[in-house]
Amino acid sequence: MPVYEFYCGRCDKEYSAVMHVAEHDRQVAECPECHRKDKVEKRLSTFTPVTSHKSAGI
Ligand SMILES: [Zn+2]
């Protein structure tokens, strides 16, 4: 299962949680600090698509 990044605006805390893709589609993981979801935002996961921006100018 993939690991997803979340951010809790209530605690100003970032955390990660392992959950199913379908689960992540529907909901967020609850914050480990306040155990709430109402201020939780999804963060983009770390496996971003590889883009070739090595050298801008030739
Ligand atoms: Zn929280």
For ligand 1, the distance from its centroid to the CA atom of residue 1, given in whole angstroms, is: 23
For ligand 1, the distance from its centroid to the CA atom of residue 10, given in whole angstroms, is: 5
Q: For 1-58, how does the pLDDT look when each residue is reduced to its tens digit (9 = 90+)?
A: 899 999 999 999 999 999 999 999 999 999 999 999 999 999 976 555 566 666 656 6
For ligand 1, the distance from its centroid to the CA atom of residue 41, given in whole angstroms, is: 11
Which residues, 6+ apart, have CB-to-CB distance to 20 below 8 Å? 1
For ligand 1, the distance from its centroid to the CA atom of residue 42, given in whole angstroms, is: 13
pLDDT of residue 14: 96
For ligand 1, the distance from its centroid to the CA atom of residue 53, given in whole angstroms, is: 36
Q: Give this prediction's pTM.
A: 0.73
